[in-house]
Amino acid sequence: MHRKRNEILKQIGLHVFLILILLLVMFPILWIFSLAVDPRNIDKPLELTLIPPGASLAAFRRVLLEPWQLLCRNPNDPSSCMTFLLLLKNSLIVALGTSLIAVLLGASAAYAFSRFNFIGRQAGMMGFIVLLMLPASATLAPLFVLLSQIRIGDESLRLTLVGLMLAYGSGTLPLAIWNLKGYFDTVPKELEEAARIDGASMAQTFLRIILPLSVPAIAVTILFAFMSGWTEFILAWTFLENPERFTLAMALRSMQGQFATPWSDFAAMSILMSIPIVLLFFALQRYLVSGLTVGGVKG
Amino acid sequence: MAVVEASAPISAATRRDSLLKRVKDSRTAWLYILPAGLVMLVITLLPQLYQVWMSFTDYRINHLRFVLFKPDTWERFAPTFVGLENYVKIVTNDLAIQNYDVWRLLLFNVTWTVVNVIFHVGLGVLIALALNNKELIGKRLYRALFVLPWAVPGYITALTWRNMYDYRFGAFNLLLAEVNSVLGTNLPTDTRWLELTNPPIGGPLSFLPLAFYAVLLANVWLGWPFMMVVATGALQSIPGELYEAASIDGASGWQKLWTITVPLIRPAMVPAIMLGTILTFNQFNVIYFISEGGPFGRTEILITQAFKLVYEQRLYGVAAAFSIVVFFVLLIITLLQNRVTRATEAYYA
């Protein structure tokens, strides 16, 4: 009886602690919601209210339906301006392309690092950590020049969404390879050996045994790559010129005016942009815990 | 992985065979690496090498026209080689930027990283432990909501926090006003969180302005869920029998924490901490968009300073040298960390 009461008290204590943490976690998020439904489009609410007076979804409607006056091919022609759907399309292309590069190229390279004892293996793994530590602040200029030189058809790679995908994909590869290699290491070698005895080739065991068993790590790789493609704007802002190729992240950046920011619109746009990432997090949550093997690294 | 350790004498023929096999294996391995290697070589490695070269030149905006593969641009636009001049200028504080002091930057950057990582790991493990309770109701809901700070794009988080620190209409001052009106207290409601220059804590910590605690709070909010997820994974892999056995032997909760939990989650936490250290050391969004390095550059970190050198001063050469300095500082920190964790590993074994 005494034991049971202790257990109940412990549960209550835990919930109090966790709810406190939850309040701290939710505070900035609720603040954004409150700004987004504020009809005054300002950053100057005079009191703290979750639902401000006259709350409306007007900001969401503006962001979703009205043309983006700052992102037009011809500033005098509203029909040449970007819309939310067009921006969304570009963002999806870039984020999915980045994920594809990270998973396909990353898994292939990680397999080699996990299963072969080849010349340059140690140096390669070390190289990835070094790349993570080298900040890219001054590499924008050389990358700009480099991608301008590579041509696809009649335009340079720098101006295209493919160029962005390659840049983001390359940036996510070191961590992707590191993480995937750690996960592949935990797949028992015996499984492959058995398949090899049955006559499967190296490539077949990779595709049919390793990959299906590594879904959690692949899910985590997709999540990280998608996120970097979805949110990056500094590089995109420097490289792209044609507004028809602009992404949601760039549109959000363009709202940060030098003098005034339409805060309700900005908050609404922020929420809309966060929703896909949050949904992806929730969808992949069960893989997140097991697929994040930065912990599983061995030399 | 060890390369053929000769515990018994191996004949020259077997050795040659194993070398042949390794070369053959290497070829297949490199084939798997080729696509990723090619992309990273062109997109990441070449610009990084270019950056190293830039750091030894006086590269400025007029040299942007210089293109390595176009010889006709060489004569007119090639930057001049200046040797170590950029590096010397960086460490002797000889740069024409306001409030620049490299040693303050370094001290602040290291303090920022250490304090952040301690909070991230501490909170992450603590909350993972709280959620690891079998009977807890609503565990999955808590876990789902707790990853929100990680899931919201960093740039959005940063600008939201900046807005919350607004001294007139930000959420924090409004919250304090609300507290005042409910509890009848008299807390200040016009604190300039990001601009005050006198330090809230004196003594050895007087180099940290209020803005430091403001950006720290934002980054702790942002960073602990990652550590929670890693710790959760590690905790789930500890067999329950260990705790039962310890309970039978009469171990207290505290003892179980230090003799079972901590040593067993260590292998998973150490690499996560190293990764967290690298990412926090170069946490651009939080500093650049919330405090903007202010007041008077006292919350500037190396990476934001390097970014400003490119985007505000257009001093590409100096910025490149800055990046190389950041790299070496990180390398030293990682190597030190590695030594410390290795040493404790031997202690536990």
Q: CB of A108 within 8 Å of any CB in chain B?
A: yes
Residue A31: inside a domain, yes or no?
no
Q: CB of A169 within 8 Å of any CB in chain B?
A: yes
Indicate whether B1 pLDDT > 50. Answer: no
CB atoms < 10 A from the CB of B297, how many?
19
What are the pLDDT digits (tens) for B253-300?
A: 889 888 899 988 888 888 889 889 989 999 999 999 999 887 888 999
Query: What is the sign of the dihedral through the CA atoms of B131, B133, B138 and B144?
Result: positive
Residue A25: inside a domain, yes or no?
no
- Euclidean distance between CA atoms A138 and B324, whole angstroms: 10
User: Using alpha carbons only, what angle is made at residue A204 by residues A203 and A207, rounded to the nearest 5 degrees?
Assistant: 85
What are the pLDDT digits (tens) for B299-314?
A: 999 999 988 888 888 8
Residue A26: inside a domain, yes or no?
no
Query: What is the chain A residue with the closest CA to B332?
Result: A133
Residue A138 distance to chain B (closest CA, Å): 5
**In whole angstroms, how far apart are CA A139 and each of A94, A171, B168, B288?**
21, 12, 39, 19
Q: Which are the contacts of A27, defined by CB distance < 8 A and separation ≥ 6?
A: B171
Query: What is the chain A residue with the closest CA to B223?
Result: A25
Question: Which residues of A fall within a CB distance of 8 Å from B217?
Answer: none
At B239, the amino acid letter reads: P
Residue A160: inside a domain, yes or no?
yes
- Euclidean distance between CA atoms A115 and A110, whole angstroms: 9
Per DSSP, which regions of A217-292 are E strands? Answer: none
Q: Which domain holds residue A250?
A: 70-296
Query: What is the sign of the dihedral through the CA atoms of B262, B263, B266 and B268?
Result: negative
pLDDT the model gives residue A42: 61
Residue A23: inside a domain, yes or no?
no
- Euclidean distance between CA atoms B68 and B334, whole angstroms: 34
Residue A190: inside a domain, yes or no?
yes
Strand pairing of A155-156 and A151-152?
antiparallel
Q: CB of A63 within 8 Å of any CB in chain B?
A: no
Q: Which of A161, A265, A78, A168 is nearest to A254 (CA)?
A: A265
Residue A55: inside a domain, yes or no?
no
Identify the CATH number of the domain in which residue A207 sits: 1.10.3720.10
Q: Per this entry, what is the length of chain A?
A: 299
Residue A266: inside a domain, yes or no?
yes
Bridge partners for A82 per DSSP: A68
Assess contact for B289 and B162: CB atoms under 8 A.
Answer: yes
- Euclidean distance between CA atoms B190 and B178, whole angstroms: 13
Bridge partners for A72 per DSSP: A81
What are the pLDDT tens digits along chain A (299 aa)?
A: 577 888 889 899 999 999 999 999 999 999 888 888 887 766 566 666 777 777 788 889 888 888 888 788 877 777 788 899 999 999 999 999 999 999 999 999 999 998 888 888 888 888 887 888 887 766 888 888 888 888 888 888 999 999 999 999 999 999 899 889 988 988 888 888 888 888 888 888 889 889 999 999 999 999 999 999 999 998 999 899 988 999 999 999 888 765 677 888 888 999 999 999 999 998 988 888 888 866 444 43
**For residue B81, what is the DSSP state?**
B
Domains and CATH numbers, chain B: 12-77 (no CATH), 101-348 (1.10.3720.10)
Residue B44 distance to chain A (closest CA, Å): 7
At A31, the amino acid letter reads: W
Q: CB of A258 within 8 Å of any CB in chain B?
A: no
**In whole angstroms, how far apart are CA A229 and each of A172, A225, A242, A267, B63?**
9, 6, 18, 21, 30
Assess contact for A141 and A255: CB atoms under 8 A.
Answer: no
Number of domains observed in the structure of chain A: 1
At B305, the amino acid letter reads: Q
Query: What is the chain B residue with the closest CA to A280?
Result: B151
3-state secondary structure of B223: helix
Q: Using CB atoms, pick whichever of B133, B163, B177 lies closest to residue A14.
A: B133
pLDDT the model gives residue B87: 94
Tell me whether residues B271 and A166 touch, CB distance under 8 A. Answer: no
- Euclidean distance between CA atoms B194 and B212, whole angstroms: 8
As for the ipTM of the complex, it is 0.86
Question: Which residues of A fall within a CB distance of 8 Å from B29?
Answer: 112-113, 116, 118, 121
Percent of chain B scored above 70 by pLDDT?
94
Q: Using CB atoms, pick whichever of B36, B229, B334 lies closest to residue A108.
A: B36
- Euclidean distance between CA atoms B36 and A183, whole angstroms: 18
What are the pLDDT digits (tens) for B148-187?
A: 999 898 889 998 898 889 887 788 888 888 888 888 888 8
Q: Which are the contacts of A254, defined by CB distance < 8 A and separation ≥ 6?
A: A68, A70, A71
- Euclidean distance between CA atoms A245 and A165, whole angstroms: 13
Assess contact for B288 and B160: CB atoms under 8 A.
Answer: no
